[in-house]
Amino acid sequence: MTETVQRPTLEAVAARAGVSRATVSRVVNGADGVTEPLAERVRQAVDELGYVPNQAARSLVTNRHDAIAVIVAEPESRVFSDPFFARQLRGISKELTAHDNQLVLLLTEGRADHARVARYLAGGHVDGALVFSLHRDDPLPELIQRAGVPTVFGGRPGWSGGRDGVVYVDSDNRGGARDAVRHLLGLGRSRVAHITGALDQTSAVDRLDGFRDAVADADPRLVAEGDFTVAGGERAMRELLERCPGLDAVFAANDLTAAGALRVLREHGRRVPDDVAVVGFDDMLPFAEQTDPPLTTVRQDILEMGRLMARLLLRGLDRTARTHDTSGGDLAGVVLPTTLVRRASA
């Protein structure tokens, strides 16, 4: 390995400065009780030797690592293929960097690895956690809570019933979906279909509720289940065309799903928007502008969601440090508004 350079020890610093180990430890950890000339000698020895304090020991004293874990409850392959996560991480990264906190992304192959993630969280390596893309029945929130790590969730957790103090940042999924479907109805469409997201996630359930708000008497055959992926959108669109060939509009649960639907509509010779109007959700750029035709969609500010998650967590940590109040107090959900962006597809 690369350890050809011996790492300088606390003992070496003490010897070089001509002081005790305890004195070095006090100076390094910012404790009181060391006279300034002595402290200066220690700092000089630290510089000369390039000593780096063992933070595992140090954090027992300071209780702060300036590091925040981010967990996306999806397999690593999905994290890197869905631009939604990259965008949210960008917002988080900008905010954490601005506060000189290290972003620690904990990747997994799947849900089976969540216990290991929780172990790492419990291990005292980070000050807090940002968790997103939770699915129903995922043991992760429970494990995180047990680990005692302050957490902000991206998206409303589905298991919040009965638990106080859960902090989350979400978009107005239901309101955005309602706007999208009302827009389609306003264009004179009467057979509006919906391709859902993964229905074990609250965002998908909320968008389905928004669809139902707008078309209370919707034919149940006009709803097909997707999973927020292009392939899922293709599958669901084929189902819908088979069941309801007369449909004249589709509200897709996200832009990737809409892209899949557009591809299948094209295969079947349906013109968009003339024969079938299509609306997505996310406004993932440049993706949503590059579909054929460019996508009318519900914009949510994903970057800002990430920033806000990080900001709420850091603010909570500061308050905890000042007041030793870990109750969460009045913090709860923050829901950001959405806006409909009109392009050519509807």
* Member of 30, 33, 37, 50 binding a copy of itself (CB under 8 A): 50
# binding residues, a copy of itself (CB under 8 A): 72
Closest CA to 240 of 268, 200, 215, 282: 268
- Say whether residue 327 binds a copy of itself (CB under 8 A): yes
Between residue 88 and residue 147, which ones bind a copy of itself under the rule CB under 8 A? 89-90, 93-94, 97, 100, 102-109, 113, 116-117, 119-120, 122-125, 128, 141, 144-147
Please give the Cα distance from 58 to 141 (Å, whole number): 28
Q: How far is the CB of 204 from a copy of itself (least distance, A)?
A: 23
The residue to which tokens 């192959």 are assigned: 109
| Smallest separation, CB 185 to a copy of itself (Å) | 37
CB of 121 to a copy of itself, least distance (A): 9
Measured from the CB atom, the residue of 11 and 209 that comes closer to a copy of itself is 11
Minimum distance from CB of 124 to a copy of itself (Å)? Answer: 4
Q: Applying CB under 8 A, does 57 fall inside the site for a copy of itself?
A: yes
> Does 56 contact a copy of itself by CB under 8 A?
yes
Q: Verify binding: residue 54, a copy of itself, rule CB under 8 A.
A: yes
Tell me: does residue 284 bind a copy of itself (CB under 8 A). Answer: no
**What single-letter amino acid sits at 344?**
A
Binding region for a copy of itself (CB under 8 A) out of 10-18, 81-89, 176-184, 282-290: 81-89
Q: Which is nearer to a copy of itself, 83 or 175 (CB)?
A: 83
Question: Does 274 participate in binding a copy of itself (rule CB under 8 A)?
Answer: no
Q: Beta-strand (E) ranges in 196-341?
A: 223-224, 249-252, 277-282, 296-299, 333-336, 339-341
- How many Å separate Cα 333 from the centre of its chain? 14
The stretch near a copy of itself (CB under 8 A) out of 12-20, 33-41, 47-55, 231-239 is 47-55
Token pair 């030793």: residue:
324
CA 109 distance to own-chain centroid: 17
Give the nearer residue to a copy of itself in terms of CB position, either 159 or 213. Answer: 159
Alpha-carbon distance values, 47 to 10, 13, 16, 18 (Å): 12, 9, 11, 15
- Residue 40 vs 164, nearer CB to a copy of itself: 164
Rule CB under 8 A: say whether 158 interacts with a copy of itself: no
Q: Does 76 bind a copy of itself (CB under 8 A)?
A: yes
Which residue bears the tokens 């905890």? 320
Query: What gap in Å lies between CA 15 and CA 236, rounded to an integer?
Result: 71
Instruction: Rule CB under 8 A: choose which of 148, 219, 332, 337 binds a copy of itself.
Output: 148
The count of other CB atoms within 10 Å of the CB of residue 209 is 13
Is residue 334 involved in binding a copy of itself (CB under 8 A)?
A: no
Which neighbouring-strand residues pair with 71?
A: 131
Of 141 and 210, nearer to a copy of itself (C-beta) is 141
- Least separation, in Å, of the C-beta of 148 and a copy of itself? 4
Long-range CB pairs of 262-268 (<8 Å, 24+ gap) are 262/291, 262/292, 262/293, 262/295, 262/345, 263/230, 263/234, 264/233, 264/234, 264/237, 264/238, 265/237, 265/241, 266/292, 268/241
Which residue lies nearer to a copy of itself by CB, 152 or 223? 152
CB atoms within 10 A of CB 241: 21
Nearer to a copy of itself, 151 or 296 (CB): 151
Helix (H) or strand (E) holding 132: strand 128-132
